[in-house]
Structure 1
Amino acid sequence: MKRLLITICGRAGSKGFKNKNLKNFCGKPLVYYSLSAAELFIKKHPELEIDVALNTDSEDLARLVAAEYPEVIYLPRGAELGGDRVPKVEVYKDSFARMEARTGKQYDAMIDLDITSPLRTEQDIENAFAKAQEREDLQIIFSVCEARRNPWFNMFKIVGDHAEMVIESQFTGRQQAPEVYDVNASIYVIRRAFLVDNPDPILWHSKFGVSVMMDTGIIDIDSEHDYLLMEAIAQHLYAHYPEFSAVRENIRG
């Protein structure tokens, strides 16, 4: 891969946590953490041609990004891609097609960094990108963390008037069951072929791989409680793991 597009995608508003993409996290704008991690990755790869784009229907978010990261290309999101029912892959395809048309380049792949994942290190991006480099047969690399529950051992579903195992098995210990992972929605590395030639809107219908991240750094921010808990975790990580504090220290402004 020689040409990459890094995308930051964020909707205006939020049902679960109002205007979460505009919040400050540990004193800095939440979106700046993704931009800072992207900048560290770009600095580490001078051999690559990398552009960064923001796809959003929030003018407030666009102004916030432009204030400190003016090189980021703003892609105003159309109404047809608004709301929470539109598959995010459609936003990815829209970003990719518009950036190729705008720059006249063909990107080899896109790396999407979720705004609500501020506790992501440059090495996390590096690991996901390296996995994509190693495995040309994989269309997508998902960032994941080790699951704390396993559907073959200690997860159950309600069937009628009782509960049953999600997947029936005879395992007597979790270590015997197949390894499973939680998709943490922090990093996606997606090859051009999927974005240009694949009409399927379901990401995991492709042949994909995973890149494992530290699970304590990832919580879906869907409420004020999630947000406050993640800030508390951040203080621990910043104090004991330099790779996390490096992203915060690199934030502009």
Structure 2
Amino acid sequence: MKERLLISVCGRAGSKGFANKNLKNFCGHPLVYYTLSAAELFAKAHPEVAVDIALNTDSDLLADLVAKEYPEVVYLPRGEELGGDSVPKMRVFQDTLARMEERTGAPYDYLMDLDITSPLRTAADVENAVAKKRSRPDLDLVFSVTEARRNPWFNMVKDAGDHVEQVIHSPFTARQQAPAVYDVNASIYVFQRDFLASNTDGMLWSGKIGVSVMMDTGIIDIDSEADYLLMEAIGAHLYAHNPAFAAVRDNIRG
């Protein structure tokens, strides 16, 4: 029997930080198409896995944009109870999982979420995250990270009133001596189905978590106009000079 993977693509209408960011064009294509292209490349490379893709959104415009070129993506209209900034994204993942299992009549093994506002991911980034989870049944969740440029044991400080102090007091004299740390970049999440379905607090940290490391440009996501302009400049460079990134762009439909 094939493993079953649900890929979720989640986006709210509007945005306080950057209005209608999920509807923007990015380097000549709709932003959401980069995520759908990466999902399609994974599905094509893994015929042994039964893959469904679902869009969970309260934006009719985003739903129409996706349906125009990716009609196979299942549209799940998001209810008002899942709108707003304070709703944990875990709740949206759970809603997507429950509705798709009801629709298909069978449980999934994993849910993988690919964030719309993190377009600079390669097919290998998706492959690596899924492979890590499939090879580690003891992990409840694998998410993507980038190597941090700063380390709280070595070269980060915190406000202590009239002065600053090390975030974590340590005797380390070189960053290489400190524990490795990562920036969580929110690009890729791969959940074990039962961990996601049974979560009650909306938090990730109650599970046993593994990481999949991406190129450090992947730390940036689009949450403001400045982010968008910077990401486009980086994207244009990567699409011109890095075949792995260009492959995702070139696979976009339309």
TM class by shorter-chain length? over 0.9
Report the equivalent of 1:115: 116
TM-superposed CA distance for 1:218, in Å, is 3.6
1:109 CA drift (Å) = 0.5
The amino acid across from 1:94 in the alignment is D
Distance in 2 of aligned mates of 1:79 and 1:217: 31
2:47 maps to what in 1?
46
Task: After TM superposition, give the deviation of residue 220 of structure 1 in Å.
Answer: 2.0
Aligned to 2:217: 216
Give the equivalent residue in structure 1 for 2:243: 242
Give the Cα–Cα distance (whole angstroms) in 2 for the partners of residues 244 and 224 of structure 1: 22
2:89 corresponds to which residue?
88
C-alpha displacement of 1:198: 2.5
Q: Secondary structure at the match of 1:205?
A: coil
1:55 alignment partner in structure 2: 56
1:66-145 maps to which residues of 2 (within 5 A)? 66-145=67-146
CA distance in 2, matches of 1:232, 1:204: 34
Give the distance between the partners of 2:221 and 2:33, measured in 1 at CA.
17
1:159 offset after TM fit, Å? 1.5
Secondary structure at 1:204 match in 2 = coil
Alpha carbons 2:183, 2:219 under 8 Å: kept: no
Contact 2:143/2:212, CA 8 A, preserved across alignment? yes
Partner of 2:148: 147
1:86 and 1:198 map into 2 onto residues whose CA distance is: 14
Measured in 2, the distance between the counterparts of 1:61 and 1:53 equals 13
TM-score by length of 1: 0.98
Hey, what's the Cα distance between the residues in 2 that align with 1:38 and 1:129? 12
Cα deviation 1:138-158 (Å, max 9, x = unaligned): 000010000001000111111
Query: How many equivalent residue pairs?
Result: 253
How far off its partner does 1:21 sit? 0.2
Q: CA deviation at 1:197?
A: 1.9
**CA distance in 1: counterparts of 2:204 and 2:251, whole angstroms:** 32
Query: Equivalent residue for 2:229?
Result: 228
Aligned partner letter, 2:189: Y
- Report if the CA contact (8 A) 1:217-1:234 is conserved: no
On the 8 A contact 2:143/2:188 being kept in 1, the answer is yes
Distance 1:78 1:16 in 2: 22
| Structure 1 residue 97: Cα displacement | 0.4
Give the aligned partner of residue 179 of structure 1. Answer: 180
**Aligned letter for 2:199?**
N
The amino acid of 2:27's aligned partner reads: C
SS at match of 2:205: helix
Q: Taking structure 2 as the reference length, what is the TM-score of the superposition?
A: 0.98
- Stretches of structure 1 lacking an aligned partner (at least 5 in a row): none
Give SS of 1:115's match: coil
- Runs of 4 or more, structure 1, over 4 Å off, are none
- For 2:211 and 2:246, the matched residues in 1 are separated by 25
Q: Does 1:197 align with 2:206?
A: no
Give 2:7's aligned amino acid. Answer: I
36-45 vs 196-205, which moves further? 196-205
Percent of matched pairs sharing the same residue: 72
Q: One-letter code of the match for 1:39?
A: E
